[in-house]
């Protein structure tokens, strides 16, 4: 795949006029969302977000697993002028349907040492969620309650329909 990507990149750069842009997001917005392949190249147009508009943070299930999301949101606020945060989950999220037994089998089949698997609670480690909506509400709370995030930054919670692209507000933090 790397050859195909490099070829596509060569074609892109032949056409693209190099452009110097600010690293400050013009809409003063950070978005925390899922790595899902159906959101790739889809979330941005569905939200009217263009290049230069917003920071986008993505992981499996838009969860707070460890400190990575909170430190990224903090960096966007303190160093990059972000004034508003949106946590955006999506319907039909793979992380809401994790079968730990199946996952462990898949890992063993790929040669992962069973002793390493046994060291972790696999469902917790992989960041499985109970439901897409309750997860968004919980992540909003986790970020809001961090002592390293300012109280005056609204943290909204939303969910996007993965088929239609329609947003629903779950937490309106105005």
Q: Show the binding pattern over residues 155-174: x = contacts its own copies (CB under 8 A), - = does not.
A: -x----xxxxxxx-x--x-x
Strands 84-90, 54-59: pairing kind: unpaired
Interface residue with its own copies, options 91, 126, 138, 142 (CB under 8 A): 126
Residues between 50 and 79 that touch its own copies (CB under 8 A)? 50-60, 65-69, 71-72, 74-79
Q: Which residue lies nearer to its own copies by CB, 126 or 133?
A: 126
142 part of the interface to its own copies, by CB under 8 A? no
- How far is it, in rounded angstroms, from Cα 55 to Cα 32? 9
103 part of the interface to its own copies, by CB under 8 A? yes
User: CA separation (Å) from 67 to 79, 115, 117?
Assistant: 18, 26, 22
- At residue 65, what are phi and psi to the nearest 5 degrees? -105, 105
Cβ(161)–Cβ(91) under 8 Å? Answer: yes
123 part of the interface to its own copies, by CB under 8 A? no
């Amino acid at each position: 795949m790397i050859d195909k990507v490099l070829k596509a990149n060569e074609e892109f750069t032949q056409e693209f006029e190099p452009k110097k842009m600010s690293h400050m997001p013009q809409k003063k917005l950070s978005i925390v969302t899922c790595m899902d392949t159906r959101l790739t190249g889809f979330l941005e147009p569905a939200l009217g977000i263009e290049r230069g508009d917003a920071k986008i943070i993505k992981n499996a299930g838009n969860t707070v697993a460890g400190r990575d999301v909170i430190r990224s949101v903090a960096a966007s606020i303190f160093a990059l002028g972000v004034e508003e945060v949106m946590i955006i989950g999506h319907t039909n999220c793979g992380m809401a349907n994790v079968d730990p037994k199946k996952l462990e089998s898949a890992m063993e089949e790929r040669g992962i040492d069973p002793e390493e698997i046994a060291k972790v609670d696999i469902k917790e480690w992989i960041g499985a969620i109970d439901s897409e909506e309750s997860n968004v509400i919980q992540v909003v709370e986790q970020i809001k309650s961090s002592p390293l995030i300012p109280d005056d930054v609204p943290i909204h919670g939303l969910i996007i329909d993965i088929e239609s692209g329609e947003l629903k507000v779950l937490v309106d933090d105005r």
